Chain A
Amino acid sequence: MKLKFLPKQRSSEFPFTFGAPAIIWQILFFYFPLLIIVVTSFINISELGEIEGVTLKKIALFLSPTYMKVILSSMLLGVSNAVICLLVAYPLAYFMAIRGKKHKNLLLFLLIIPFWTNFLLHVYAWFFVLERDGFLNTLLLKIGFIHEPIHFLNSIFSIMVMMVYYYLPFMVLPIYSSLERFDSRLIEASLDLGASWFQTFRRIMLPLTLGGIRAGFFLVYIPSFGEFAIPELMGGDKYMFVGSVVSHYILGDQTGSLGAAFTVVACICLLLSAVGLFFLLNKIILPKRKK
């Protein structure tokens, strides 16, 4: 009886004890502020700071086409960043997990190194690369590929370069870990059964690493959607994304509750788009099952 009793007690109480600090932290500093934001966006505050009742006006304000366009372009930014990262990360992760097995620790280390330096330094480094007489233009002029320097900075191009550069490791790591668990004998089995390399990739590798792809995709998509610093620094003030609108209202005079309302609208859109993307990914990658 004793033996039966003991493990049960452990399994039910110990995890809670150890998990409690994190749970309390999360409640205090995430769920509670989130609640404040949601509440703020639905109540009417007078100029004196008194609560005057419930309103949907603020939410309705942001359902207009102007703001929807901002949200849509943020989605587009997030999706294109996630897709480009995926395209770049998959071969890299494949190489690290399957070909570079001997040096995998070194390769992982190299991947993590950029996180050791400050984000702003990365941005300035890219300025030097992309500016009018910067590294890239000089190089292209030297090899005769172009005759006039190209204006790279303050464009979608420079935003995307920085986004991909910054978010790539978040895509590589989960894909790497799913590829590392992937049984490469399945590749042999597939080739043996007559599949070409592409068919093997499409029908065996992709579906079996979907977990990593999905994790990486959302690790990149969700923060990219709300990304504030990169579009602001690399795009000049030409482009409006969700992050810049939120910061505009939150930091503005007396407009904090509008910022909260926009955040709520944007978050709901983000949630819906994430659900949609989840099913889209499944549909693209998993084999059809109709029986």
Chain B
Amino acid sequence: MRSITLKGLSKSINGGQIIPGLNLNIPAGKFFALLGPSGCGKTTLLRLIAGLEKADEGQIFLGDEDITELPIHERPVNVVFQNYALFPHLDVFDNVAYSLKLNKTPKKEIKEKVCKILQAFHLESHIYKFTSQLSGGQQQRVALARAIINEPDVLLLDEPLAALDFKLREKMLIELIELQDKLKTTFVYVTHDQFEALTVADQMAIMNTKGQIEQIGTPKEIYEFPHSSFVAKFVGTTNILSGKLRQIDTDPEIEVADLGKFKLSIPLKKQWMKEGCDILISLRPEKIFISKKEVPNFSNKLMGTVQSIVYHGRSTQYNVVLRNGLKLQVFEQNEEHFPQQVIDYDNEVYLYWQKENVVLLEK
């Protein structure tokens, strides 16, 4: 269990810069998720840490040790590959025992260790099967078992659940969290799926399309307090309104063209926030209250027409068109079997939100 520190790391492939001088600290013993859109360079970053790629510039530290020049097979870092990369000519036992056999561990010890780990992963009845005879979830577990059996300091997971169906993925996510909790190994989980990242991470980093880190924080911080419109839009669903900042010192408001003014709260004033400057606000769909009747005690109110309704099961999504043609998404929890008011297509509705639930972003 050691931390990873990247200092000024950069990498170009075929002349195109993938990683542009990146600084990042991945804390020891934490479940760290690296979230970014496809092709943003997160897999390259992971390959750099693993030693599968050589950095053009910069350093990689494992704890205090500089491992930038350490060859791949000497790094105490293991990878769970996206396609698992299990050895097709070896059975489950030999796949898992692979790293142990390399360093001449006594046979008895290998057998004990492998059997123990296979039991923990519910694979004990498949020991002598070839990996092609296993289901996707079982292959995934073999890949995990193979990667952790030698107790690496850091486990890198490259979209490990991408090939699994939704139910299985949810189950594996929980297993991963429990595994990390037990091992206390530093896990670095790379994914483009925000649901997975939010689920597993203690800490997460958002990478933009240029390979830069946009924000680091706990899943809650990232989701509730995004620092940029990229993060706000990429993590979860949100409504972005654009307008001008007014009355910054007394009673802050955003003035949106054709819609009017809406109250804001500015808990921490930043440098760029100036009277009259262009700003964006991010308003999460679940933070909006939708109603056919007027309700008191909300700081902001809007009116619109329901254009479409998507039923998700636990919630319902309303797409509401505003006066200026802008569309807002609103989520409503389906709390009751027989709700008091039924909102239907083309209904005129009121949208309410509290000013504290809005995030102010630089344009």
Known: A186-B85, A208-B88, A287-B90. A192 touches B52 (CB 8 A): yes
A204/B87 in contact, CB under 8 A: yes
Shortest CB-to-CB span from B185 to chain A, Å, is 15
Query: Which of B83, B88, B94, B99 makes the CB contact (< 8 A) with A194?
Result: B99
A256 at interface, CB cutoff 8 A: no
A28 at interface, CB cutoff 8 A: no
Shortest CB-to-CB span from B163 to chain A, Å, is 14
A2 at interface, CB cutoff 8 A: no
A186/B128 in contact, CB under 8 A: no
Query: Complex Cα distance A192/B73, Å?
Result: 5
Query: Which of A185, A186, A196, A207 makes the CB contact (< 8 A) with B73?
Result: A196
Query: Complex Cα distance A191/B52, Å?
Result: 9
Residues of A within 8 A of B73 (CB): 191-196
Q: Which residue of B lies closest to A204 (CB)?
A: B87
Shortest CB-to-CB span from A152 to chain B, Å, is 43
* Interface membership of chain A positions 179-191, coded 1 if the CB is closer than 8 angstroms to chain B and 0 otherwise: 0000101101111
Shortest CB-to-CB span from A222 to chain B, Å, is 26
Query: Complex Cα distance A190/B52, Å?
Result: 11
Interface centre among A194, A204, A207, A291 (most CB of B within 10 A): A194
B89/A193 in contact, CB under 8 A: no
A189/B81 in contact, CB under 8 A: yes
Shortest CB-to-CB span from B328 to chain A, Å, is 45
Q: Which residue of B lies closest to A208 (CB)?
A: B89
Residues of A within 8 A of B322 (CB): none
Query: Which of A185, A192, A199 makes the CB contact (< 8 A) with B50?
Result: A192
Q: Which residue of B lies closest to A286 (CB)?
A: B89
* Interface membership of chain B positions 80-118, coded 1 if the CB is closer than 8 angstroms to chain A and 0 otherwise: 010101111111001000110011000000000000000
Residues of A within 8 A of B90 (CB): 287
Q: Which residue of B lies closest to A207 (CB)?
A: B89
Query: Complex Cα distance A165/B18, Å?
Result: 45
**A-B pairs with beta carbons under 8 A, tally:** 62
Shortest CB-to-CB span from B188 to chain A, Å, is 14
Query: Which of B72, B88, B89 makes the CB contact (< 8 A) with A192?
Result: B72
Residues of A within 8 A of B150 (CB): 193-194
Query: Complex Cα distance A188/B158, Å?
Result: 13
Query: Which of A199, A207, A291 makes the CB contact (< 8 A) with B128?
Result: A291
Residues of B within 8 A of A185 (CB): 81, 83, 85
Shortest CB-to-CB span from A207 to chain B, Å, is 5
Interface centre among B72, B79, B128 (most CB of A within 10 A): B72
Known: A186-B85, A189-B85. A199 touches B52 (CB 8 A): no
Query: Complex Cα distance A199/B101, Å?
Result: 11
B146 at interface, CB cutoff 8 A: yes
Shortest CB-to-CB span from A231 to chain B, Å, is 38
A186/B102 in contact, CB under 8 A: no
Residues of A within 8 A of B103 (CB): 194
Shortest CB-to-CB span from A256 to chain B, Å, is 49
B78 at interface, CB cutoff 8 A: yes
Closest 8 interchain pairs by CB? A189-B85, A193-B99, A185-B85, A191-B72, A207-B89, A191-B73, A194-B99, A192-B79
22 contacts between A and B (CB under 8 A): A185-B81, A188-B79, A188-B81, A189-B79, A189-B85, A189-B86, A190-B87, A191-B73, A192-B50, A192-B52, A193-B73, A193-B102, A193-B150, A195-B102, A196-B73, A204-B87, A208-B87, A208-B88, A208-B89, A287-B89, A289-B91, A291-B128
